[in-house]
Chain A
Amino acid sequence: MRKLWLAALAAMAVAAPAAAQQRLVVAAYGGSYERIMREAAIPEFERANNVRVDYLAGNSSDSLARLQAQRGRQEIGVVLLDDGPMAQAIALGFCQRVADREALDSLYPIAVMGEGRALGTGFGFTGIAYNSELFRQRGLAPPQSWADLGRPEFRRRLAVPGIDNTYGVHTLVMMARINGGGEREIAPGFRAMRERVNPNVLAYESSPGKMSELFQSGEIWLAVWGSSRVAAMKEAGFPLEIVRPREGAVVLMTATCAVEGAPNSDLAQKFVAHLVSPAVQAAFAAQYGSGPTNRHVQLPPDIAGRVIYGEAQVRELVSLDWTAINASRTEWTRRWQREVER
């Protein structure tokens, strides 16, 4: 027995150098995004820098909540968030300035957030997803406008993500914009949601997993959703299509930043630069359907046709004023819970 203990101790002593390997905690999206990260981005980085990456899966609001919970003693080194929450993270002081000038300069200017505190990693858009097979069977015209969310034949067949979710915020702002308002004049959006959209909504659903389930069970026929989520379901063989409404689809950029005050900040900075490197960007374009933010990424034609490719295409999308939105988001959330989500 004694010998066994000694052997165990010796084994631990031998293993110690390996355990001293540095760790980097990355908080990012779950689901298909996590799989691609683990296959296409993380292993190479671990090898090159002799580091172990721990992946914390969660959506933007979860990751942001974690940052807030650990304020002052951050464990998360790198965080990936939607552009809206990232603007908030920057405002809350969670992001360090990006140190790698080369990485910074390789991006389209539109993908650099908060004076270089966060970098966009991929472009997608929010549009209206619909079950194309069901629409064909029932002889329904595909949606073309944000106003189509209020079409009476969609009664209880629509799902809209909640306002905690970026897609939900996009819906509200677009409903305001097409009704004569906007980010700074949100009242028309609330009125349209309440009076025209809400009767059609079966459920306000923020979770991508449950949204897929609602589509698959045929409970909903259409939903406000993101291009990459739709791409993932299409890839799995589900007849889902996404339209860019005629008033414009809303650009949704995923963004990353190195967290202020976290350990191993040099590694975090390196990982951020790694995420916007052409190789990783190309992998995400091919597998996740997100458009590259790095100007130097060359995509094969079949993939280039599927994603938002180049600044010109980004400019065709509607982009929102997140400073204005974040300033009034608490109040919108309050109103949404009281007026819309009923």
Chain B
Amino acid sequence: MQPGTRAPARGATSRRATSPWVLMAPSTIVYALVLLAPIASVVALSLQGFDFGRGILPRWDLANYVDLATDPLFHEVLARTFRVAAIVTAICLAIGVPEAWIMHRMAPRWRGLMLLVVLGPLLVSVVVRTFGWMVLLGSNGLVNQALEAIGVPGAPFRMMFTEFAIVLGLVHVMVPLVVLTVWASLGRLDPALGRAAESLGAATFTVFRRVVLPNIMPGVLGGALMVFCLSASAFATPAMLGGRRLKVVASMAYNEFLNTLNWPLGAAIATLLLAAILLATLLWTRFVERRALRRLGVAA
């Protein structure tokens, strides 16, 4: 603390105080333009009215939201969306976490190959992937043919246009996301921890459950959140594998925009979906993630 160094130090501080803002400005502007502005205009649109003969009405009220709040169909669709998302998330965790752990323990030359296999679904276009499932799951499809050939009673089963098909299609593409996030956590895990547990007599499964799993929890929870959000807002897979009968919120919004042309109602549906997902995310980080991290001693 010499007097001579003070003045330049203060200059550096003020520069240090403004430079984060200056540096952030480009990305802030981009986000404001490509993310916030569209969302704001969707919300604004959701407050307007619609008439089949006259188009969008210049009216500002909450009529669309009142409509949806009292609409049993919307309740059913909302419940289905979140039920499917929850089931998909659970299954993805059950498959993805052990998968990442097993791959992590593989010999390095196999690891790269297996990672490519796991990422495969992400490399295929959603339309092709979904058409593939349509071919497999149809009542004359390969799965049913196989089941009939081995004499499973009750075959052929009805699989296309069911929630089962939607869940299957979504799990197929979402598992890699869990594997990747867990993989990243495993990379940060000190291998000595596992060996220490083993040297103290823990079996492999106990090591996984008591040592590895708590440490990779941030990855597991982050992956779960990602899968949940993407499943809840998924459009193409539910629309193609579930058909028009099994609507989800995203396909309902699509219908209002492109078929009924009732954009304001579609915007209201989209806004509610966004709000519901945001709420689920906040609750998740608030109650589940923070608690898990606190157990790890990461967060205060």
Contacts and interface: CB of A to CB of B under 8 A. Distances in A.
Contacts of A213: 131, 134
Interface string A260-279: 00000000000000000000
Given A92-B54, A330-B52, A338 B73 contact: yes
Interface string A80-118: 000000001001100000000000000000000000000
Contact of B141 (A162, A217, A329): A217
Interface string A34-56: 00000000000000000000000
A62 B263 CA distance: 13
A68 B55 contact: yes
Contact of B158 (A156, A164, A210): A156
Given A204-B245, A213-B134, A164 B259 contact: yes
Interface in B110-146: 131, 134-135, 138-141
Nearest to A328: B52
Given A92-B54, A217-B140, A337-B73, A62 B258 contact: yes
A219 B260 contact: no
A326 B53 contact: yes
A202 interface: yes
Contacts of B139: 156, 219
A24 B52 CA distance: 28
Given A219-B138, A337-B73, A330 B160 contact: no
B274 interface: no
Given A219-B160, A338-B73, A341-B245, A91 B260 contact: no
A218 B261 contact: no
A246 interface: no
Contacts of A64: 261
A330 B263 CA distance: 13
Interface string B55-96: 110000000000000001100000000000000000000000
Contacts of A65: 257-258, 261
Interface-central residue, A68, A204, A337, by most chain B CB under 10 Å:
A337
B140 A162 contact: no
Given A202-B161, A213-B131, A342-B245, A91 B53 contact: yes
B52 A71 contact: no
B243 A204 contact: yes
A203 interface: yes
B255 interface: yes
Nearest to A198: B245
B262 interface: yes
Contact of B244 (A92, A156, A205): A205
Contacts of A68: 55-56, 261, 263
A203 B243 contact: yes
Nearest to A207: B240
Interface in A167-205: 202-205
Given A204-B245, A219-B160, A329-B52, 10 more contacts: A61-B261, A65-B258, A68-B261, A204-B243, A204-B244, A206-B259, A210-B240, A213-B134, A217-B135, A219-B139
B75 to A, nearest CB: 12
A-B complex: 6 closest residue pairs judged by Cβ atoms: A164-B259, A204-B244, A203-B243, A330-B52, A218-B140, A219-B138
A204 B55 CA distance: 26
B160 A71 contact: no
Interface in A262-315: none
22 contacts: A61-B261, A65-B258, A68-B56, A71-B55, A91-B53, A92-B54, A162-B259, A164-B258, A202-B161, A203-B160, A203-B243, A204-B243, A213-B134, A217-B135, A218-B140, A219-B138, A326-B53, A327-B52, A330-B262, A337-B73, A338-B72, A341-B244
Interface of B: 52-56, 72-73, 131, 134-135, 138-141, 158, 160-161, 240, 243-245, 247, 255, 257-263
A62 to B, nearest CB: 6
**Would you call the interface of chain B mostly helix, strand, loop, or mixed?**
loop
Interface in A209-268: 210, 213, 217-219
Interface in A2-27: none
A62 B259 CA distance: 7
Nearest to B52: A330
Interface-central residue, B135, B158, B244, B258, by most chain A CB under 10 Å:
B244
B160 A61 contact: no
B83 to A, nearest CB: 17
A203 B161 contact: yes
A333 interface: yes
Contacts of B160: 202-203, 219
A51 B52 CA distance: 35
A210 to B, nearest CB: 8
A342 B262 CA distance: 21
Nearest to B245: A341
B73 to A, nearest CB: 5
Interface in A129-169: 156, 162, 164
Contacts of A218: 138, 140
Contacts of B261: 61, 64-65, 68
Contact of B260 (A62, A92, A164, A204): A164
Interface-central residue, B56, B131, B139, by most chain A CB under 10 Å:
B139
A219 B271 CA distance: 37
Given A204-B244, A213-B131, A217-B140, A333 B53 contact: no
Contacts of A204: 243-245
Contacts of B240: 210
A338 B245 CA distance: 10
Contacts of B55: 68, 71, 92
Nearest to A159: B243
B134 A61 contact: no
Given A71-B55, A92-B55, A213-B134, A330 B243 contact: no
